[in-house]
Amino acid sequence: MDLLLSLKLAWRALARNPLRASLTMLGVIIGVAAVVATLAIGQGARASVQAQIASLGSNVIMIMPGTGGPGGGGGIRMVMGSSQTLTIDDVEAIRKECPSVQSIAWVVRAAGQVVYGNQNWSTGLVGTTPDYLTIRDWVIADGAAFTDSDVRNAAKVCILGATVAENLFQGANPVGETIRIKDLPFKVVGVLERKGGSAMGSDQDDLIIAPGATIQRKFLSRNFIGMVFVSARSAELINPAIEEISGLLRQRHKIRPGQDDDFFIRNQAEFANAAEQTSRTMTLLLSSIALVSLLVGGIGIMNIMLVSVTERTREIGIRMAVGAKGGDILSQFLVESAFLSLVGGALGVALGLVTSMVISSLAHWPTIVSPASVALAFGFSAAIGIFFGFYPARKASLQDPIEALRYE
């Protein structure tokens, strides 16, 4: 019996009970839709996190003060950024003595209430040097950056993040205007281009950048550095740069062999790998749950096909009596189960695409539907139909024609 005839017979058999066939396909439809939507959410989240990590800048290395646990790998005794072990002299030494380093900027952070006219906004203050913008690949959308001279003289000038500019100036141009940060006047010299959310979910544009010496003297009253941003000359030189920085800082801080570093060094690759692993784990977990519903749909197909074999026992006997072989009966029922799963898979893919778009629109989650995920879900649904349909089909093909004809 050829495939075309098997498809015609399968269609006629399923069309006799359209409601039952539809309910049987429902489990496959839901399962495939769940797989497609889950993979779309996972891939979208992964791409979003990678883009946010890339927004840190190019070939970025971060140095933070802090002490590691015993042997360098145990529990952390002092959290990153909690100690006072990095100085401006360390930064200048790295700039001069580490050939793999292209740019370096030290950073201190504070927080404050900002006022302009009758508008006010609470935001973060970043004190740094002009190289910070270069390392972070952060473009000035309007105005200009402050200079090294502004840092040396602790000038009261600042650059606004896009979020701060919008909330304080309500669409007006801030450049050249004077704002008050904790009752101190600061002249706005520039506005940053929008970067969006960070990998941790915070708004990168909700900040004000000012000369580091100004923030230290006016708001912190201390000289230690909270963090150092370094840009390697190329991606290939990131690890050599880390080794050069680590060796230099250990030498400058008089750390003996076997002792823990009093600083932490992290790079984009570490953040990217951690985010990739987390995203992959969550996608795998959610996809596993979705696949369970697809397996339940397969069990539903097996159940209905067993019922169908029982109901059509006399039909099987008649077909065998007029010359049909066991293989013909096997292919007929196998095609029926595959037909159910394939149609259910196609409808499930369509539902999954719609669900992904709805989630992206309503929840504002990034979703990416790749052809590979669609092929995976559709192929798995086909495999489910064949796998769970084989036993009922084989049971039908092994019927004794005489007993089948006697069946009431």
- φ/ψ of 41, rounded to 5, equals -65, -45
Percent of the chain at pLDDT > 70 equals: 88
Question: pTM of this prediction?
Answer: 0.62
pLDDT at 222 exceeding the cut of 80? no
| Poorest-pLDDT segment among 42-46, 50-54, 94-98 | 50-54
Distance of CA 370 to CAs 116, 266, 364, 377, 387, Å? 47, 32, 19, 11, 26
How is residue 222 written in tokens? 């201390």
Q: pLDDT-based confidence at 318, cuts 50/70/90? A: confident
Helices 371-397 and 268-311: angle between axes, nearest 10 degrees = 30
Other beta carbons less than 10 A from residue 183's beta carbon:
8
pLDDT at 214 exceeding the cut of 70? yes
The C-alpha atoms of residue 228 and residue 108 are separated, in whole angstroms, by: 9
Q: Name 172's Cβ contacts closer than 8 Å, sequence gap at least 6.
A: none
| Poorest-pLDDT segment among 80-84, 234-238, 249-253, 356-360 | 80-84
The three-class DSSP label of residue 207 is strand
342-379 burial by CB neighbour count: b if 16+ within 10 A, else e?
bbbbbbbbebbbebbeebbeeeeebbbbeeebbebbbe
pLDDT digits (tens, 9 = 90+) for 160-208: 999 999 999 988 999 999 999 988 999 999 999 998 766 555 788 999 9
How is residue 211 written in tokens? 């000369």
Looking at residue 364, its pLDDT comes to 75
Q: pLDDT-based confidence at 82, cuts 50/70/90? A: very low
Alpha helix positions (H), 55-196: 88-97, 131-135, 148-152, 162-169
Looking at residue 78, its pLDDT comes to 43
pLDDT at 122 exceeding the cut of 90? yes
Gyration radius of the chain's alpha carbons: 33
Looking at residue 382, its pLDDT comes to 84
Specify which residues 159 forms β-bridges with: 190, 209
The C-alpha atoms of residue 281 and residue 49 are separated, in whole angstroms, by: 14
pLDDT at 157 exceeding the cut of 60? yes
Q: What kind and span of H or E run contains 119?
A: strand 119-128
Q: Name 348's Cβ contacts closer than 8 Å, sequence gap at least 6.
A: 28, 29, 30, 31, 32, 33, 35, 36, 377, 381
Q: pLDDT-based confidence at 74, cuts 50/70/90? A: very low
Looking at residue 404, its pLDDT comes to 65
Alpha helix positions (H), 170-229: 212-215
**Mean model confidence pLDDT for the chain:** 83
* Residue whose pair of structure tokens reads 């007006």 in the numeric block: 172
pLDDT at 72 exceeding the cut of 60? no
Q: Find, among 43, 2, 5, 26, the residue nearest to 286 by Cα.
A: 43
The C-alpha atoms of residue 155 and residue 131 are separated, in whole angstroms, by: 17
Residues belonging to the chain: 408
The C-alpha atoms of residue 33 and residue 320 are separated, in whole angstroms, by: 39
Tell me, what amino acid is at 273? N
Bigger pLDDT: 56 vs 151: 151
